[in-house]
């Protein structure tokens, strides 16, 4: 039976007679809005301890060269997402010409709304990325985070594949939380705020059109961590009479 044939009971079956989702049929979702369109999710920063576990688990499954390259590529991708706050689409679209380590600058040519911007990344992030770039030269010219072999070698890794690898890495690391690329972006914003970076600089780093979007990212900070400094304000310097 052809995999797209619908039997009399209305079910879709594959070649082995198993039920399949209609969403697996090519073109099924054409013109359909994503199921999550319009939904807003709370900020979900990933703790540094969890990132450390992910990096620790980012090892080759075997001595096969392709597995080693895949592990190194994923580790570099995590470093870029975490230390630059780029969206996954922005990271996967990067080319070597977009990287300026001397100035700590990453050029995002097609950000959200097709807007161009410059984001910065610290020395640790650059060192992790450089390890991948050194071996990336063995592959065909193309995006930084590329397909390793086959007819599409050198072309950008797909967002779907990157998300799958992160989910599998989270399971391998034993993390009982959802691992998704945007969690690193949320954590980046929180860390910048904790390090005293101005909220307007954070907005520019992340490429947000509105400051209220940046504020949403900082909801991952505990309320009293935000409000604590208010309770530690100095007493007024003007002369105030004592209560009787």
Which residues are part of the catalytic machinery? 87, 112, 182, 185, 208, 217
Instruction: State the Cα–Cα distance between residues 87 and 181, nearest whole angstrom.
Output: 7
Report residue 208: phi and psi, to 5°.
-85, 135
Largest CA distance in the chain: 94
Instruction: State the Cα–Cα distance between residues 134 and 101, nearest whole angstrom.
Output: 14
Instruction: State the Cα–Cα distance between residues 193 and 210, nearest whole angstrom.
Output: 17
Q: Which long-range contacts (CB under 8 A, 24 or more apart) does 152-156 make?
A: 156/92, 156/93
Q: Are 116 and 161 in contact (CB under 8 A)?
A: no
Q: Among residues 121, 92, 115, 126, which one has the least CA distance to residue 208?
A: 115
Instruction: State the Cα–Cα distance between residues 77 and 166, nearest whole angstrom.
Output: 10
- Give the residues across from 120 on adjacent strands: 105
CB neighbourhood size of 128 (10 A) = 20
Sign of CA dihedral 48, 49, 51, 55: positive
């Amino acid at each position: 039976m052809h995999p797209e044939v619908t039997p009399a009971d209305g079910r879709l079956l594959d070649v082995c007679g198993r039920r399949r989702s209609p969403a697996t049929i090519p073109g099924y979702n054409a013109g359909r809005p994503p199921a999550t369109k319009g939904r807003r999710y709370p900020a979900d920063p990933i703790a540094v301890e969890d990132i450390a576990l992910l990096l620790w688990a980012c090892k080759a499954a075997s001595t096969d060269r392709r597995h080693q390259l895949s592990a190194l590529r994923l580790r570099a991708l995590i470093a870029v997402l975490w230390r630059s706050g780029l969206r996954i689409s922005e990271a996967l679209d990067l080319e070597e010409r977009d990287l300026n380590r001397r100035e700590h600058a990453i050029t995002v040519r097609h950000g959200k709304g097709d807007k161009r911007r410059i984001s910065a990344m610290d020395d640790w992030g650059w060192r992790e990325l450089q390890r991948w770039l050194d071996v990336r030269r063995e592959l065909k010219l193309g995006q930084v985070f590329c397909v390793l072999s086959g007819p599409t070698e050198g072309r950008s890794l797909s967002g779907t594949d990157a998300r799958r690898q992160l989910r599998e890495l989270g399971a391998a690391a034993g993390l009982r939380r959802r691992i998704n690329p945007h969690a690193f972006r949320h954590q980046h914003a929180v860390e910048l705020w904790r390090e005293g970076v101005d909220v307007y600089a954070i907005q520019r780093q992340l490429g947000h059109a509105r400051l209220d979007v940046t504020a949403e990212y900082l909801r991952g900070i505990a309320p009293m961590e935000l409000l604590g400094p208010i309770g530690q304000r100095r007493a007024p310097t003007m002369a105030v009479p004592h209560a009787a």
